[in-house]
Amino acid sequence: MVYVNGTAHIRHAQSGQVYEIDADMLDFESVSSEERSMGPETAYSAVVEHPELGQLTWSIWEYPIGAENYRETDVGPHELLNNLEFGLEHEPPDPDEDGDERIDEEDRQAQIDALVEWFFERYEDPAQRLPYISAEGGYQWIYGGPYDAREELAENFPDLPDDVIEAAVDEIESDGLTDWAPVASAEDYDQYEDNEPDDLEVSAIARDLEDLIQGLPEAVAEPAFEVGGDGLIHMAIPPDATTPDANNPLLDELREATQDLLHELNGTNAHTDLLNAVQRYHATISADSISISQVYSRGIRLANVGEATEKAIARDYLPSFPLSVEAHLSSVLDLNRAYIMAHPEGRRIAENSAAYQRTPSDTEAMRRAADDFADAVASARSLFADDVRELVVQASSQIGHGPQPGRSNQNAAHTFGNLTRFILKQVGTAALFTGAALGGAAITGSIPGGALAATGTEYINLCWSFLVANASALHAIAASFGADLSWMSSAAHILERHKAQKPDS
């Protein structure tokens, strides 16, 4: 059974009108059941045909029995402002003769066994395949992690009793190992040699992934990415970069004010974070081609670092600013706002930041999801260049901070969304059909340009393994960041379906 409470608010994509969907409008029904390693995975859906919004769908998956595995809300092109509360609901067990509720011990042990099996399908001893470098602190967590069994089980099976979770953790950690690596190497995804029935499922998954990738819009704003000659993913010039007008008094004034601020900060090593932020902002507005979205995001970073530095000075954590720095910084930020709002694209991005305002508890959920994703990117040195790893960590650290927290949250959403979109399009569905991401031959046509010629199958495998290993992080980001990143949850579900496929022995 599925319970549903509250009211959802959905903003129409064209008219902007907000509509209410009450809980009593939803009627959940079982729509599919698929047998998996720990029993059936059952999907429940409720469909509402709204006269203005069209078809709206709420879905939830139960796997294993009694535990929620995944949920999804599809409101089409519209914006989900806040959702209904819904989830799995189970009848309590019958009391025994003494009036105490109890769980049949056989069922309890089956739940524990299922949790242990689920965990070892996804995580392994890091000694299995991770490099160990003493000089760099031990295991190199190139696929994300380390992961904690208790945290993973509690997050993925919140409906199970604590004592069942604890018993499963005790069994998992019985050999003393508490840090785990994800099972995410290319060898885990060998293409089947014969056309067994599971091949049909792999093809179906590939088609779903193809539909998803083809439906993703091109990134039109900062940040942008590219594959470098070293086979790593680097930052790239944003697609909206254009040559500014030769005679632009506002830009000239902004450049002059930023140069004055740099002059005041140079020569001191007490405010290095602020100096670095100013240098990057100055480089952005001084380039021959200027991206409004990049000026916007670098301006957010500058404002956030400036506020943090001023707070540290007020608490005597840092020495006072050199002469006139505070006034110059205020001037730069004022001119930055004026420059952004003078451009239609800048106004559009700034106005959209209102959708990323969050309550403190929601902000904390965003931060947890972002930190997991940032940790995974920071650890994947064989896939991401230093500039990308630094960008993602900074975006995560700024969530909920700064004079306008909504814009910091928006900046993080753009960063995570654009990077995930880029990796998905790098992999391409051709990799699934021909086996490049599953350990087969290289694909010369799935990556544009000449990057694939240098990186080949290894690069595709790294991209694919990174996505599969971090499917849960994509789910969490989609759930906490909202409608703009809802497609990440669909991608994660496809990745998890593929990961669950095992060749017959």
251-290 confidence digits (pLDDT tens): 999 999 999 999 988 877 788 899 999 999 999 999 999 9
Name which of 183-197, 284-298, 443-457 the model is least confident about. Answer: 443-457
Beta bridge partners of 365: none
| pLDDT at residue number 135 | 54
Q: For domain 249-352, which CATH number applies: 3.30.160.270, 3.40.1160.10, 3.30.300.130, 1.20.1440.140?
A: 1.20.1440.140
Q: What is the percent of the chain with per-residue pLDDT over 90, rounded to a whole number?
A: 39
Give the phi and the psi of residue 61 in degrees, each rounded to 5. -115, 135
Residue with tokens 């067990």: 93
| pLDDT at residue number 442 | 31
The predicted model gives 310-318 an average pLDDT of 90
Gap between the Cα atoms of 410 and 477, Å rounded: 12
Question: Please, which pLDDT band fits residue 139 given cuts at 50, 70 and 90?
Answer: confident
Side chain identity, residue 206: A
Give CA angle at 89 (83, 92), nearest 5°: 150
The residues, ordered by sequence, that sit 6+ positions from 151 with a Cβ below 8 Å of its Cβ are none
Average predicted confidence (pLDDT) for the chain: 81
Q: Taking each helix axis from N to C terminus, what angle separates 197-215 and 405-434, rounded to the nearest 10 degrees?
A: 140
Beta bridge partners of 56: 48
466: Cα separation from own chain's centroid: 12
Q: Taking each helix axis from N to C terminus, what angle separates 405-434 and 471-481, rounded to the nearest 10 degrees?
A: 140
Token readout for 442 is 């290289």
Cis status, amide bond into 95, omega within 30 of 0: no
Residue with tokens 């593929």: 498
pLDDT over 60 (residue 10): yes
Name which of 317-331, 440-454, 467-481 the model is least confident about. Answer: 440-454
Q: Taking each helix axis from N to C terminus, what angle separates 451-469 and 487-500, rounded to the nearest 10 degrees?
A: 90
Q: What is the percent of the chain with per-residue pLDDT over 70, rounded to a whole number?
A: 83
Gap between the Cα atoms of 306 and 402, Å rounded: 9
Of the ranges 79-88, 163-172, 459-468, which is most confident? Answer: 163-172
pLDDT over 90 (residue 197): no
Q: Which residue has the higher pLDDT, 67 or 94?
A: 67
| pLDDT at residue number 479 | 84
| pLDDT at residue number 420 | 94
Where are the domains positioned within the chain? 2-88, 108-182, 249-352
| pLDDT at residue number 186 | 42
Question: Please, which pLDDT band fits residue 38 given cuts at 50, 70 and 90?
Answer: low
| pLDDT at residue number 262 | 92
| pLDDT at residue number 429 | 45
Name which of 35, 441, 478, 194 is nearest 495 in CA terms: 478
Name which of 31, 27, 20, 30 is nearest 4 in CA terms: 27
Q: Taking each helix axis from N to C terminus, what angle separates 149-156 and 471-481, rounded to the nearest 10 degrees?
A: 50
Gap between the Cα atoms of 486 and 77, Å rounded: 11
| pLDDT at residue number 189 | 40
Name which of 496, 422, 446 is nearest 221 in CA terms: 422
Q: Where are the alpha helices (DSSP H) in 315-343?
A: 325-341
Beta bridge partners of 181: 124
Token readout for 316 is 């005597």
Query: Helices H, strands E: what count in the chain?
Result: 15, 15
| pLDDT at residue number 185 | 47
Report whether 171 contacts 160 (CB < 8 A): no
The predicted model gives 104-118 an average pLDDT of 83
The residues, ordered by sequence, that sit 6+ positions from 6 with a Cβ below 8 Å of its Cβ are 23, 84, 85
| pLDDT at residue number 253 | 94
373-422 confidence digits (pLDDT tens): 999 999 999 899 999 999 999 999 999 999 999 999 999 999 999 999 99
Neighbour-count burial for 101-130, b at 16+ CB within 10 Å, e otherwise: eeeeeeebeebbebbbebbeebbbebeeeb
Gap between the Cα atoms of 129 and 132, Å rounded: 9
Q: Which residue has the higher pLDDT, 240 or 97?
A: 240
| pLDDT at residue number 361 | 83
Q: Which residue has the higher pLDDT, 134 or 292?
A: 292
